[in-house]
Amino acid sequence: MQSNPEELEQSLGYTFRDRSLLVRALTHSSSANEAPLAAEAAIARADNERLEFLGDSVLGWIVCHWIFHRFTDFTEGQLSLLKNHLVSATHLLAVAHRLDLGRFLQLGRGEETAGGRTKQRLLVNAFEAVLAAVYLDGGPEAARELVERVAIPDEAALAELAGTGPPHDFRAELERLTRERRMPRPLYHLVSETGPGHARVFRVEVRVGREFSAAADGTSKKTASHNAAHLVCRMLNGELPAGAGDVSAPESSMTSTSGRQS
Protein backbone atom coordinates (compact mmCIF):
# COMPACT_ATOMS: atom_id res chain seq x y z
CA MET A 1 0.00 0.00 0.00
CA GLN A 2 2.97 2.31 0.63
CA SER A 3 3.51 4.77 -2.25
CA ASN A 4 6.50 6.43 -3.85
CA PRO A 5 7.62 9.55 -1.93
CA GLU A 6 7.94 11.35 -5.28
CA GLU A 7 4.15 11.44 -5.44
CA LEU A 8 4.05 13.14 -2.06
CA GLU A 9 6.60 15.70 -3.21
CA GLN A 10 4.21 16.66 -5.99
CA SER A 11 1.39 17.16 -3.48
CA LEU A 12 3.67 19.17 -1.20
CA GLY A 13 4.91 21.31 -4.06
CA TYR A 14 8.46 20.76 -2.80
CA THR A 15 11.30 18.58 -4.11
CA PHE A 16 13.82 17.38 -1.55
CA ARG A 17 17.53 17.65 -2.14
CA ASP A 18 18.03 15.05 0.59
CA ARG A 19 15.13 12.66 0.20
CA SER A 20 16.28 10.61 3.18
CA LEU A 21 14.79 13.39 5.32
CA LEU A 22 11.38 12.79 3.75
CA VAL A 23 11.72 9.03 4.16
CA ARG A 24 12.55 9.49 7.83
CA ALA A 25 9.62 11.87 8.31
CA LEU A 26 7.30 9.14 7.03
CA THR A 27 8.78 6.35 9.15
CA HIS A 28 6.80 5.48 12.26
CA SER A 29 8.67 4.03 15.23
CA SER A 30 6.85 0.71 14.74
CA SER A 31 8.66 0.32 11.41
CA ALA A 32 12.03 1.54 12.64
CA ASN A 33 11.88 -0.84 15.58
CA GLU A 34 11.39 -3.80 13.23
CA ALA A 35 14.41 -2.88 11.09
CA PRO A 36 17.52 -5.06 11.43
CA LEU A 37 19.97 -3.90 14.07
CA ALA A 38 22.48 -1.45 12.61
CA ALA A 39 25.92 -0.46 13.77
CA GLU A 40 24.73 3.05 14.49
CA ALA A 41 21.82 3.56 16.88
CA ALA A 42 20.75 6.55 14.82
CA ILE A 43 20.33 4.27 11.83
CA ALA A 44 18.58 1.57 13.83
CA ARG A 45 15.96 4.06 15.13
CA ALA A 46 15.46 6.28 12.10
CA ASP A 47 11.86 7.12 12.96
CA ASN A 48 10.07 10.46 12.74
CA GLU A 49 9.72 11.29 16.43
CA ARG A 50 12.55 13.84 16.61
CA LEU A 51 11.37 15.46 13.39
CA GLU A 52 7.82 15.66 14.77
CA PHE A 53 9.21 17.45 17.85
CA LEU A 54 10.92 20.04 15.67
CA GLY A 55 7.99 20.36 13.26
CA ASP A 56 5.58 21.18 16.07
CA SER A 57 7.65 24.24 17.01
CA VAL A 58 8.30 25.27 13.40
CA LEU A 59 4.57 25.15 12.68
CA GLY A 60 3.74 27.26 15.72
CA TRP A 61 6.33 29.89 14.82
CA ILE A 62 5.21 30.13 11.18
CA VAL A 63 1.53 30.34 12.08
CA CYS A 64 2.10 33.00 14.76
CA HIS A 65 4.23 35.08 12.42
CA TRP A 66 1.72 34.79 9.57
CA ILE A 67 -1.43 35.72 11.50
CA PHE A 68 0.35 38.49 13.45
CA HIS A 69 1.34 40.28 10.24
CA ARG A 70 -1.80 39.42 8.25
CA PHE A 71 -4.43 40.40 10.83
CA THR A 72 -3.00 43.63 12.22
CA ASP A 73 -6.26 44.75 13.87
CA PHE A 74 -7.00 41.51 15.72
CA THR A 75 -6.84 41.34 19.50
CA GLU A 76 -4.56 38.97 21.36
CA GLY A 77 -7.56 36.74 22.06
CA GLN A 78 -8.51 36.57 18.38
CA LEU A 79 -4.91 35.83 17.36
CA SER A 80 -4.73 33.05 19.96
CA LEU A 81 -7.99 31.59 18.67
CA LEU A 82 -6.68 31.45 15.11
CA LYS A 83 -3.32 30.06 16.17
CA ASN A 84 -4.94 27.35 18.27
CA HIS A 85 -7.14 26.37 15.34
CA LEU A 86 -4.31 26.24 12.81
CA VAL A 87 -2.02 24.09 14.96
CA SER A 88 -4.78 21.87 16.32
CA ALA A 89 -4.88 18.17 15.57
CA THR A 90 -8.26 18.41 13.89
CA HIS A 91 -7.07 20.99 11.39
CA LEU A 92 -3.79 19.16 10.79
CA LEU A 93 -5.67 15.90 10.33
CA ALA A 94 -7.68 17.52 7.54
CA VAL A 95 -4.42 18.72 5.97
CA ALA A 96 -2.94 15.22 6.20
CA HIS A 97 -6.05 13.77 4.55
CA ARG A 98 -5.82 16.27 1.67
CA LEU A 99 -2.20 15.25 1.14
CA ASP A 100 -3.22 11.56 1.38
CA LEU A 101 -0.36 11.22 3.84
CA GLY A 102 -1.47 7.84 5.14
CA ARG A 103 -0.54 6.22 1.83
CA PHE A 104 3.12 7.13 2.33
CA LEU A 105 3.66 6.07 5.95
CA GLN A 106 6.17 3.35 6.74
CA LEU A 107 4.59 1.26 9.48
CA GLY A 108 5.47 -1.88 11.34
CA ARG A 109 3.34 -4.97 10.83
CA GLY A 110 1.42 -4.50 14.06
CA GLU A 111 0.60 -0.85 13.40
CA GLU A 112 -0.36 -1.66 9.82
CA THR A 113 -2.77 -4.32 11.01
CA ALA A 114 -4.21 -1.91 13.59
CA GLY A 115 -5.13 0.62 10.87
CA GLY A 116 -2.27 3.01 11.52
CA ARG A 117 -2.61 4.69 8.14
CA THR A 118 -5.88 6.26 9.24
CA LYS A 119 -4.99 7.07 12.86
CA GLN A 120 -5.25 10.75 13.69
CA ARG A 121 -2.21 10.78 15.97
CA LEU A 122 0.06 9.15 13.38
CA LEU A 123 -1.13 11.40 10.56
CA VAL A 124 -0.79 14.63 12.54
CA ASN A 125 2.67 13.67 13.79
CA ALA A 126 3.71 12.69 10.28
CA PHE A 127 2.65 16.05 8.86
CA GLU A 128 4.67 17.88 11.51
CA ALA A 129 7.64 15.61 10.77
CA VAL A 130 7.35 16.33 7.04
CA LEU A 131 7.27 20.06 7.78
CA ALA A 132 10.45 19.69 9.84
CA ALA A 133 12.07 17.76 7.01
CA VAL A 134 11.24 20.59 4.57
CA TYR A 135 12.63 23.10 7.10
CA LEU A 136 15.90 21.19 7.42
CA ASP A 137 16.20 20.57 3.69
CA GLY A 138 15.15 23.96 2.32
CA GLY A 139 15.22 26.38 5.24
CA PRO A 140 12.61 28.56 6.94
CA GLU A 141 11.28 30.06 3.71
CA ALA A 142 10.54 26.66 2.18
CA ALA A 143 8.75 25.62 5.37
CA ARG A 144 6.74 28.85 5.41
CA GLU A 145 5.69 28.39 1.79
CA LEU A 146 4.57 24.82 2.53
CA VAL A 147 2.44 25.88 5.50
CA GLU A 148 0.84 28.71 3.54
CA ARG A 149 0.20 26.41 0.58
CA VAL A 150 -1.37 23.44 2.35
CA ALA A 151 -2.32 24.40 5.92
CA ILE A 152 -3.73 27.94 5.98
CA PRO A 153 -7.35 28.50 4.86
CA ASP A 154 -8.38 31.63 3.01
CA GLU A 155 -8.53 34.83 5.02
CA ALA A 156 -12.32 35.03 4.90
CA ALA A 157 -12.60 31.68 6.66
CA LEU A 158 -10.10 32.73 9.31
CA ALA A 159 -11.83 36.06 9.86
CA GLU A 160 -15.12 34.23 10.26
CA LEU A 161 -13.54 31.87 12.77
CA ALA A 162 -12.33 34.86 14.79
CA GLY A 163 -15.80 36.34 14.76
CA THR A 164 -14.99 39.26 12.46
CA GLY A 165 -15.92 37.92 9.05
CA PRO A 166 -19.25 37.81 7.25
CA PRO A 167 -21.93 36.20 9.43
CA HIS A 168 -23.07 32.68 8.73
CA ASP A 169 -25.62 31.03 10.95
CA PHE A 170 -24.08 27.59 11.38
CA ARG A 171 -26.44 26.88 14.26
CA ALA A 172 -29.37 27.25 11.89
CA GLU A 173 -27.59 25.16 9.26
CA LEU A 174 -26.95 22.40 11.79
CA GLU A 175 -30.60 22.47 12.86
CA ARG A 176 -31.60 22.11 9.22
CA LEU A 177 -29.21 19.22 8.54
CA THR A 178 -30.27 17.27 11.61
CA ARG A 179 -33.95 17.86 10.90
CA GLU A 180 -33.63 16.72 7.27
CA ARG A 181 -31.73 13.60 8.32
CA ARG A 182 -34.04 12.88 11.25
CA MET A 183 -31.19 13.04 13.74
CA PRO A 184 -31.34 14.21 17.38
CA ARG A 185 -31.45 17.98 17.84
CA PRO A 186 -28.10 19.65 18.59
CA LEU A 187 -27.40 20.24 22.30
CA TYR A 188 -25.06 23.10 23.30
CA HIS A 189 -23.05 23.36 26.51
CA LEU A 190 -20.75 26.14 27.74
CA VAL A 191 -17.54 24.34 28.68
CA SER A 192 -15.37 27.20 29.92
CA GLU A 193 -14.79 30.93 29.99
CA THR A 194 -11.18 32.09 30.22
CA GLY A 195 -8.90 35.05 29.62
CA PRO A 196 -8.80 38.63 30.93
CA GLY A 197 -11.89 40.83 30.78
CA HIS A 198 -10.79 42.59 27.60
CA ALA A 199 -10.06 39.32 25.77
CA ARG A 200 -12.48 36.67 27.04
CA VAL A 201 -12.45 33.32 25.28
CA PHE A 202 -15.51 31.09 25.51
CA ARG A 203 -15.59 27.39 24.75
CA VAL A 204 -18.86 25.76 23.73
CA GLU A 205 -19.52 22.10 22.95
CA VAL A 206 -22.30 20.89 20.68
CA ARG A 207 -23.49 17.29 20.46
CA VAL A 208 -25.71 15.54 17.95
CA GLY A 209 -26.56 12.16 19.36
CA ARG A 210 -23.61 10.02 20.44
CA GLU A 211 -21.65 10.04 17.20
CA PHE A 212 -21.06 13.72 16.47
CA SER A 213 -19.63 16.31 18.84
CA ALA A 214 -17.33 19.30 18.66
CA ALA A 215 -15.97 21.93 21.01
CA ALA A 216 -14.88 25.34 19.77
CA ASP A 217 -13.62 28.67 21.06
CA GLY A 218 -14.88 32.15 20.29
CA THR A 219 -14.72 35.71 21.56
CA SER A 220 -18.39 35.36 22.55
CA LYS A 221 -20.65 32.42 23.42
CA LYS A 222 -22.49 32.98 20.16
CA THR A 223 -19.30 32.86 18.08
CA ALA A 224 -18.06 29.78 19.95
CA SER A 225 -21.35 27.96 19.44
CA HIS A 226 -21.36 28.85 15.74
CA ASN A 227 -17.76 27.62 15.39
CA ALA A 228 -18.67 24.33 17.08
CA ALA A 229 -21.79 23.98 14.92
CA HIS A 230 -19.65 24.62 11.84
CA LEU A 231 -17.41 21.67 12.73
CA VAL A 232 -20.36 19.32 13.17
CA CYS A 233 -21.85 20.56 9.87
CA ARG A 234 -18.57 19.63 8.19
CA MET A 235 -18.69 16.20 9.83
CA LEU A 236 -22.24 15.63 8.62
CA ASN A 237 -21.22 16.71 5.11
CA GLY A 238 -18.27 14.30 5.09
CA GLU A 239 -15.61 17.02 5.14
CA LEU A 240 -14.28 15.88 8.53
CA PRO A 241 -14.29 12.49 10.22
CA ALA A 242 -17.06 11.95 12.75
CA GLY A 243 -16.01 12.23 16.34
CA ALA A 244 -15.20 14.73 19.05
CA GLY A 245 -13.94 17.94 17.51
CA ASP A 246 -12.10 20.88 19.00
CA VAL A 247 -11.21 24.21 17.38
CA SER A 248 -8.50 25.15 19.79
CA ALA A 249 -6.39 23.37 22.34
CA PRO A 250 -3.14 22.72 20.47
CA GLU A 251 -2.12 20.30 23.23
CA SER A 252 -5.13 18.13 22.60
CA SER A 253 -6.06 16.65 19.25
CA MET A 254 -8.61 19.00 17.59
CA THR A 255 -11.99 18.61 15.64
CA SER A 256 -11.56 14.98 16.60
CA THR A 257 -8.69 16.04 18.84
CA SER A 258 -7.53 14.34 21.93
CA GLY A 259 -4.01 13.36 22.76
CA ARG A 260 -1.16 14.20 20.43
CA GLN A 261 1.28 11.64 21.60
CA SER A 262 3.92 9.85 19.65
Which DSSP string corresponds to 86-151?
HTSHHHHHHHHHHTTGGGG-B--HHHHHTTGGG-HHHHHHHHHHHHHHHHHHH-HHHHHHHHHHHT
Q: 56 an active-site residue?
A: yes
Q: Say which of 47, 52, 111, 128 is annotated catalytic.
A: 128
Helices (H), the chain: 5-12, 19-25, 29-32, 41-44, 49-70, 76-86, 89-98, 109-113, 120-138, 140-150, 155-161, 170-180, 221-236
Contact between 139 and 58 under an 8 Å Cβ cutoff? The reply is: no
Q: Say which of 47, 52, 56, 137 is annotated catalytic.
A: 56
Neighbours of 35 (CB within 10 A): 15
Q: Find the farthest-apart pair of alpha carbons in the chain and give their distance in angstroms, rounded.
A: 63
Contact between 59 and 53 under an 8 Å Cβ cutoff? The reply is: no
Burial class (CB in 10 A: 0-12, 13-18, 19+), 238: exposed
- Strand duo 244-246 + 212-218: pairing: parallel
Sign of CA dihedral 77, 83, 89, 95: positive
Task: Catalogue the active-site residues.
Answer: 56, 128
